[in-house]
Amino acid sequence: MMALGEVRVARRVLLAGGLAATAVTVSGMPAVAGSRRMAPSIASTADWDARAASGSIQVLDSKPTKIVVHHTATPNAEDTSQAHAFELCRQIQNYHMDSNGWIDTGQNFTNSRGGYLMEGRHQSLAALRGGSQHVRGAHAGEQNSVALGIENEGTYTEAAVPSALWSSLVELCSYMVAQYGIAAGEIYGHRDFMATACPGAVLYGRLPELRAQVGARTGSPVVQPVTWPLVVPGASGDVVSALQLLLRARGFGVPVDGVFGAGTVRAAEAVVRRRGAAEGSCLAARVVEPGLFGGQAWLEVTPELVRGAEGDAVRAAQVLLRARGVSMSVDGVFGDSMVSVVREFRGSRGLVASGVVDEVVWRWLLS
């Protein structure tokens, strides 16, 4: 099934690749002269004795614009040796090829708890060294053709990130940023795009620090991104109330009690399924993670709102504005007073002054 998924998206990859190539000539920075100095030691697929890929690797004629950080959702192994790291790579490749039906390892690179860096999907290392092309992986769904994926060994829902793994992650991200001219603020966690706990709350919580360290090493200015929240079972509060109103606006008969309970979870899961997880995604997001809502599934429930709009989606925006201290009634009517409120809100966030609640405003309101 996943093999079909990979074939199905191939046409779109060509399109996305073309668009990305155009964008890069406008905004991309050339690889900096000093980036070769920054090159970390990365073991190739030959070094860890990878199997041959079972299909042709797509080397895209464009630079990636993002880095997506994952955790492998495997045990937090005590063995920090290179032999263990290589064994991990072989296990992941076997799983991706034999169980997922993919042509090769999904992620572009793997980072072990001992701090060993390794190539994942074939040709990813040569492409990174070259700095003008990248390999399309299978790790983050819709982002696969524009983002490099790094799998970090372990499960970081609660456990601390080992310092060796952290150092090598900083090194690898810095090298990617230098080689491709990726902005240091464009380092994300998998959950920023999909309804998954990946890369775990602990590692995810350290992404601002990762961006800052990579920015400092590469001289790339860091703008911390505003991202969609992950809603987990048992969550409560204004974001959940807003989600419930947004689900109601989409026709789901959920309560508006601010609690992410069973009925709301079922409706949210239906939206996640509608968004689809058919494209290749990392193991952590493919094991059952019931009741999570987040990433780009938010796009399914956050319509663009303008003056004259009415109903529960407007109420959702009003609830979130009130939660941010704006004095306004929750009447579900997008009238002149709400236009001024939104205009002011956008201005205070440095956004283009308008009275429109668009995707960016929703992200700010929900974050």
Q: Could you list the residues that contact Zn ion (CB under 5 A)?
A: 70, 190, 198, 282, 284
Q: How far is the CB of 250 from Zn ion (least distance, A)?
A: 26
Nearest C-alpha neighbor of 194 from the set 106, 261, 135, 282: 282
Q: How far is the CB of 192 from Zn ion (least distance, A)?
A: 10
Our CB check for Zn ion shows the closer of 106 and 303 to be: 106
Count of other CB atoms within 10 angstroms of residue 18? 13
SS (H, E, C) 146-183: CEEEEEECCCCCCCCCCHHHHHHHHHHHHHHHHHHCCC
Q: How far is the CB of 190 from Zn ion (least distance, A)?
A: 3
Our CB check for Zn ion shows the closer of 165 and 282 to be: 282
Our CB check for Zn ion shows the closer of 286 and 343 to be: 286
**Total residue count of the chain as it appears in this document:** 367
Our CB check for Zn ion shows the closer of 16 and 284 to be: 284
Q: Cis bond leading into 199, ω under 30°? A: yes
Our CB check for Zn ion shows the closer of 190 and 248 to be: 190
Q: Which residue in this structure is represented by tokens 């070259």?
A: 130
Q: How far is the CB of 108 from Zn ion (least distance, A)?
A: 13
Q: How far is the CB of 85 from Zn ion (least distance, A)?
A: 19
State the alpha helices, DSSP H only, in the chain: 2-8, 10-27, 82-94, 124-130, 163-180, 201-205, 207-218, 238-249, 262-275, 283-286, 312-323, 336-348, 359-366
